[in-house]
Amino acid sequence: MEKSNETNGYLDSAQAGPAAGPGAPGTAAGRARRCAGFLRRQALVLLTVSGVLAGAGLGAALRGLSLSRTQVTYLAFPGEMLLRMLRMIILPLVVCSLVSGAASLDASSLGRLGGIAVAYFGLTTLSASALAVALAFIIKPGSGAQTLQSSDLGLEDSGPPPVPKETVDSFLDLARSVFTCALTYATDYKVVTHNSSSGNVTHEKIPIGTEIEGMNILGLVLFALVLGVALKKLGSEGEDLIRFFNSLNEATMVLVSWIMWYVPVGIMFLVGSKIVEMKDIIVLVTSLGKYIFASILGHVIHGGIVLPLIYFVFTRKNPFRFLLGLLAPFATAFATCSSSATLPSMMKCIEENNGVDKRISRFILPIGATVNMDGAAIFQCVAAVFIAQLNNVELNAGQIFTILVTATASSVGAAGVPAGGVLTIAIILEAIGLPTHDLSLILAVDWIVDRTTTVVNVEGDALGAGILHHLNQKATKKGEQELTEVKVEAIPNCKSEEETSPLLPGSRNHGLTGSCGYAWEKCRCISLSPVSSASDVF
Nearest partner of 426 among 170, 206, 96, 48, judged by Cα: 170
State the average pLDDT over residues 146-160. 48
Q: Residue 452 belongs to what H/E stretch?
A: helix 439-496
For 316-332, the pLDDT digits (tens) are 999 999 999 898 889 88
- CB count within 10 Å of CB 18 equals 12
State the average pLDDT over residues 58-78. 86
Given a cut of 60, whether residue 413 has pLDDT beyond it is no
Higher pLDDT, 169 or 30: 30
Residue type, 153: L
CA atoms within 13 A on the CB side of 88: 10
Given a cut of 50, whether residue 286 has pLDDT beyond it is yes
Predicted confidence band of residue 1 (pLDDT cuts 50, 70, 90): very low
Question: Which residues does residue 215 pair with via DSSP β-bridges, in sequence order?
Answer: 183
Predicted confidence band of residue 527 (pLDDT cuts 50, 70, 90): very low
Are 288 and 383 spatial neighbours (Cβ–Cβ below 8 Å)?
no
Concatenated DSSP letters for 335-401? HH--HHHHHHHHHHHHHHTT---HHHHHHHHHHHHHH--HHHHHHHHHHHHHHHHHTT----HHHHH
pLDDT, position 60: 84
At residue 129, the 3 state secondary structure works out as: helix
Q: How far apart are CA 25 and CA 360, in angstroms?
A: 46
Structure letter (DSSP) for residue 272: H
For 225-268, the pLDDT digits (tens) are 888 888 888 888 888 888 898 888 888 888 888 888 888 888 88
Question: Which residues does residue 536 pair with via DSSP β-bridges, in sequence order?
Answer: none
Q: Residue 204 belongs to what H/E stretch?
A: strand 201-215
Q: How far apart are CA 418 and CA 333, in angstroms?
A: 10
Which residues lie below 8 Å from residue 393, measured CB to CB, with a gap of 6+?
A: 434
pLDDT, position 516: 43
Average pLDDT over the chain, rounded to an integer:
74
pLDDT, position 25: 45
For 180-212, the pLDDT digits (tens) are 655 554 555 566 666 666 666 666 666 665 555
State the average pLDDT over residues 56-63. 86
154-163, 259-268, 401-410, 441-450 — most confident range: 259-268
Angle between helices 439-496 and 339-352 (to 10 degrees): 30
Given a cut of 50, whether residue 520 has pLDDT beyond it is no
Higher pLDDT, 417 or 281: 281
**End-to-end alpha-carbon separation of the chain, Å?**
57
Given a cut of 70, whether residue 272 has pLDDT beyond it is yes
Angle between helices 107-139 and 358-371 (to 10 degrees): 40
pLDDT, position 35: 81
Task: Quote the percentage of the chain above a pLDDT of 70.
Answer: 66
Given a cut of 50, whether residue 151 has pLDDT beyond it is no
Q: Which long-range contacts (CB under 8 A, 24 or more apart) does 224-227 make?
A: 224/94, 224/95, 224/97, 224/98, 224/99, 224/102, 224/366, 225/98, 225/102, 225/367, 227/99, 227/102
pLDDT, position 204: 63
Given a cut of 80, whether residue 402 has pLDDT beyond it is yes
pLDDT, position 155: 44
Burial 438-471 (b: 16+ CB within 10 A, else e): bbbbbbbbbbbbbbbbbbbbbbbbbbbbbbbbbb
Given a cut of 80, whether residue 359 has pLDDT beyond it is yes
Given a cut of 50, whether residue 536 has pLDDT beyond it is no
Residue type, 347: M
Residue type, 162: P
CATH (residue range 44-150+168-478): 1.10.3860
Three-state SS annotation for 460-472? HHHHHHHHHHHHH
Out of 78-87, 94-103, 370-379, 483-492, pick the least confident.
483-492
At residue 205, the 3 state secondary structure works out as: strand
Nearest partner of 185 among 167, 208, 205, 206, judged by Cα: 208
pLDDT, position 271: 82
Predicted confidence band of residue 40 (pLDDT cuts 50, 70, 90): confident
pLDDT, position 120: 93
pLDDT, position 531: 43
Q: How far apart are CA 464 and CA 459, in angstroms?
A: 8
- CB count within 10 Å of CB 326 equals 25
Q: How far apart are CA 467 and CA 462, in angstroms?
A: 9
Domain ranges of the chain: 44-150+168-478
Higher pLDDT, 177 or 267: 267
Please state, in angstroms and as integers, the Cα–Cα distance from residue 520 to each residue in 28, 120, 498, 536, following that order: 69, 55, 8, 14
pLDDT, position 62: 87
For 87-103, the pLDDT digits (tens) are 788 788 888 888 887 88
pLDDT, position 9: 42
Higher pLDDT, 226 or 485: 226
pTM of the predicted structure, to 2 decimals? 0.68
Predicted confidence band of residue 460 (pLDDT cuts 50, 70, 90): very high
